[in-house]
Amino acid sequence: MKPLIQTENYLILTFPDTEFSKYLSEIGQLALREPEILNRIDQDLKKDARRKKKNRLKDKEWEESQNQRLPYQDEIEAKEIDSNDLKLQIGRRRMSTEIVFLFLMIRGYLGGIKSQAAQTFLLESQSLQFFLHQRGLKMPGMSTIIDNINVVSNETRQFIFDAQIRMILHEELDDFTVLKIDSTAVAGNTSWPTDSVIMTRLVERLYHSGSSLDKFGINNMGKRNFDFLLKEMKKISKIIAFEVGKKGSEQKRVRHYQSLLKQAKKAYEKFLKEMPVIELNAERVNLVPSLKTRLIRLIEMMKEDLCHFKSVMDYCGKRVFENKKVPSTEKVLSLSDPSAAFIQKGNREAVVGYKPQLGRSKNGFISVLITPEGNAADSGQLDPAVIEHFRRTGVIPNEVSTDDGYANSAIREKWLNQGVKIFSINGAKGKKMTPIEDWESEIYLESRNGRSAAESLMFHLKHSFHFGRVTRRGMDNVRAELLEKALAYNFCRTLELRNRKLKQVA
């Protein structure tokens, strides 16, 4: 792979000396040093192409099977197509792996590329146009860019992360002997949940899904007064929202929820009667495999929504009428992102989203990024974080520093025995499990005082790399988005430290 930016001069288009152009150069340097990155991206693209080809072949087989057949042909079973055995022919030209890697890292730098602001930046970026001009390429369409970079697997992103750390070690920008661990709350791409809104939107989505079945050649769900029930539920839900904070709102809220749950129960019973009919019709319909797969997926989503609907009705009644608290783990917190969890960190504002764990090195690089499912306890993430740091860097840190939420005496002792010299846990719990002579020593005091570096990292990530909120949904997609942003941060940190070294030499 050629360097992304070569300092040639053109009559009109010249090499821009900007932060973004240097960022593109940094991406090119990593690709040159680690060519396996492009190879892995290529494998991801080919795997996706084979999957699409398999679906096309299955559709073609179905279409041929609809033609007149000889009697004995009915006894021949169709051979299952293995996508790994398929050979890709020359067809429509795909985006090069080089450009896919480029835009993957640009997405992390911008925090996303779907927004109007991001697309305007890309279209007007002289640095990007310079890169494309050098190779005689045109700016790909945004849908083409998104389709291709979304194919890249998280395993490939992790390899890029590992490669980035290897480059940092090679340039001696950090020795990774210090590890500061902390977690942060990241808001998901979802609105704040209330029982009334969740129930109403579930009914609305179920009704919308049931009204689009004719696209698959089967009857739509029966009307059964769904229009009226949905209209009533929306009206009551708005009233409940407007009553918040007003005088006597508690008593009124109970009455409104009684009315809402009455309508919700009617809707639920009607949906229950419709689902067996829909499933039977779907089983009988003869469809091209790609459409059949989509129909089955839609029905499974409807069944899942119906289960969630029943769950919300049950715990809503307990909460409103019996004053029983329901754990957030048992609640439906989001319709758009079921993997999002209720995250409350200290006295900060709670969010519905995720709680990634980050490890910061002495010179400010991210060496660890773990995004667990749900609101996982920090103490349970301590060992995985240190293991991940060691796996990625090959270095057992001399110093591990964290806060009281990670207090775990067994894990602390484990790593002290493995070679960690200072394992500082700042807080009352940490003080109890640390020998008094160590706790009061100068090196432990310095380690506790250095905890602010982890807070600084979180602030910088959220305000400069859009780390505080994700735009994608689902566990795998969120992990991909956060990792892309962490990679972008490390690239920028590399540029900053390299510039410092150059200034010191000068």
**pLDDT tens for each residue of 172-223:** 999 999 999 999 999 999 888 889 999 999 999 999 999 999 999 999 998 7
Residue 297 is predicted with a pLDDT of: 95
| Residue 305 predicted with pLDDT over 80 | yes
Per the model's pLDDT, the better-predicted residue between 439 and 247 turns out to be 439
pTM above 0.95, yes or no: no
Segment 125-152 shows an average pLDDT of 85
Report the chain's mean pLDDT, rounded to a whole number: 88
Per the model's pLDDT, the better-predicted residue between 506 and 483 turns out to be 483
Segment 39-44 shows an average pLDDT of 96
Of 165, 139, 154, give the one whose Cα is nearest residue 359.
165
CA dihedral sign, ordered 434, 437, 439, 444:
negative
Q: Could you give the angle at the alpha carbon of 100 between the alpha carbons of 94 and 102, nearest 5°?
A: 145
Tokens of 169: 């070690």
Residue 333 is predicted with a pLDDT of: 86
Segment 346-364 shows an average pLDDT of 90
| Residue 135 predicted with pLDDT over 80 | no
Yes or no: say if 213 and 221 are a contact pair by the CB < 8 Å rule: yes
CA distances from 505 to 336, 493, 498, 500 (A): 53, 19, 11, 9
Q: What is the DSSP letter of 93?
A: P
Residue 81 is predicted with a pLDDT of: 61
Yes or no: say if 185 and 348 are a contact pair by the CB < 8 Å rule: yes
Tokens of 51: 């999957």
Strands, E assignment, 172-293: 178-183, 186-187
CA distances from 211 to 207, 224, 227, 290 (A): 6, 12, 11, 20
Segment 351-376 shows an average pLDDT of 94
Tokens of 196: 């009334």
CA distance 467 to 183: 12
Yes or no: say if 119 and 95 are a contact pair by the CB < 8 Å rule: no
Of 134, 145, 63, 47, give the one whose Cα is nearest residue 96.
145
Residue 214 is predicted with a pLDDT of: 93
For 210-244, give one letter per residue: b (16+ CB within 10 A) or e: beebeebebeebeebebeebbebbbebbebbeebe
Residue 182 — φ and ψ, nearest 5°? -155, 165
| Residue 461 predicted with pLDDT over 60 | yes
Segment 476-483 shows an average pLDDT of 96
CA distance 423 to 389: 15
Residue 82 is predicted with a pLDDT of: 59
Burial class (CB in 10 A: 0-12, 13-18, 19+), 43: middle
* Residue 5 confidence class, pLDDT cut points 50, 70, 90: very low
The partner residues of 359 in beta bridges, in order of sequence, read 181, 368
Listed by start position, the domains of the chain span 19-152, 174-189+343-505, 195-330
CA distances from 458 to 7, 388, 489 (A): 35, 19, 11
Q: What contacts 13, CB < 8 A, 6 or more positions away?
A: 126, 129, 130, 133
Residue 53 is predicted with a pLDDT of: 86
CA distance 21 to 128: 8
Of 390, 358, 364, give the one whose Cα is nearest residue 495.
364
Of 374, 352, 340, 334, give the one whose Cα is nearest residue 205.
334
Residue 418 is predicted with a pLDDT of: 95
* Residue 59 confidence class, pLDDT cut points 50, 70, 90: confident
For 323-348, give one letter per residue: b (16+ CB within 10 A) or e: eeeeebeebbbbbebebbbbbeeeee
The helix/strand/coil state of 198 is helix
Of 493, 461, 480, give the one whose Cα is nearest residue 185.
461
Q: What contacts 269, CB < 8 A, 6 or more positions away?
A: none
What torsion, rounded to 10 degrees, do the Cα atoms 127, 133, 138, 143 define?
-30
Segment 125-131 shows an average pLDDT of 84
**pLDDT tens for each residue of 67-99:** 755 454 444 444 566 556 566 655 555 788 999
Residue 72 is predicted with a pLDDT of: 46
